[in-house]
A = this chain, B = another copy of it.
Amino acid sequence: MTKTRLEAFSDGVIAIIVTIMVLEIKVPHEATMSALLGLWPVFMSYLLSFVFISIYWGNHHHLLHTVNHVNSQIIWSNMHLLFWLSLVPFSTGWMGENHFQELPVALYAINLLLCAIAYYILQTTIMKHHTFSEKLAEAMKKQEKKGMASLFLYIVSIIAAFFNPVISEIIFGVVAIMWVIPDKNIERALKD
């Protein structure tokens, strides 16, 4: 019961985050090709964030699937994650508006890093309050490794942004692909 409402609320917030981002793609007043092409960086940053938020939604989904009972610590760890996710439309908009310049790219990377840390905290909090089957515990450990690799890559991309933002963008792409590739371990472990 309680868990259902936590899921529903998180789904609502994530659905709104993913959709209001599109409001940052301001409708141009001219009906010309150049006006449309001028939106390219805003569109690309929207696409990138859409993928990242989708990944979080999917992982969040799997993570909460393992939860039996919800307590205050889990609720607040979850709110903490939603807080950083809710700032993604802002950092996405700033990055797109300024055509992937150094500082906005660095801020975007920091935002992703904070989301990843918040997710890690939520996962740890849930694991502390639950005992899992051996298989599931193993699968979650593997995902934790992936999470750690992402944390490291985000830190690299923050530093890289000040030298060459293109490197950071490539790193964002690598992390996204790393997560989009389905994580069959947890799915399989949950089935058993």
- Interface on A for B, CB 8 Å cutoff? 1-2, 5, 7-9, 11-20, 22-25, 27-33, 36, 47, 50, 54, 57-58, 61, 65, 71-73, 75-76, 79, 82-83, 86-87, 89-90, 93-94, 97-98, 101-104, 107, 180, 182-184, 187
Task: Verify B16–A90 contact, CB threshold 8 A.
Answer: no
Report A146 CB to chain B, min CB distance, Å.
14
Give complex CA distance A22, B69 in Å: 30
Instruction: Return chain B residues, CB-CB under 8 Å to A93.
Output: 27
Give complex CA distance A77, B54 in Å: 12
What are 16 of the A-B contact pairs (CB < 8 Å)? A1-B65, A9-B15, A9-B57, A11-B12, A12-B12, A13-B18, A20-B20, A20-B23, A22-B90, A27-B94, A27-B97, A31-B94, A31-B101, A54-B79, A71-B187, A72-B182
Task: Verify B94–A75 contact, CB threshold 8 A.
Answer: no
Say which residue of B23, B57, B79, B184 sits within 8 Å of A72 (CB atoms). B184
Task: Verify A72–B187 contact, CB threshold 8 A.
Answer: yes
Task: Verify A22–B180 contact, CB threshold 8 A.
Answer: no
Instruction: Return chain B residues, CB-CB under 8 Å to A11.
Output: 5, 8-9, 12
Give complex CA distance A98, B98 in Å: 25
Task: Verify A107–B72 contact, CB threshold 8 A.
Answer: no
Instruction: Return chain B residues, CB-CB under 8 Å to A28.
Output: 94
Apart from A20-B22, A36-B103, A58-B75: 18 A-B pairs, beta carbons within 8 A: A5-B7, A5-B11, A9-B11, A9-B57, A12-B16, A13-B15, A16-B16, A18-B82, A18-B86, A22-B87, A22-B89, A23-B89, A25-B90, A27-B97, A31-B98, A31-B103, A50-B83, A72-B184
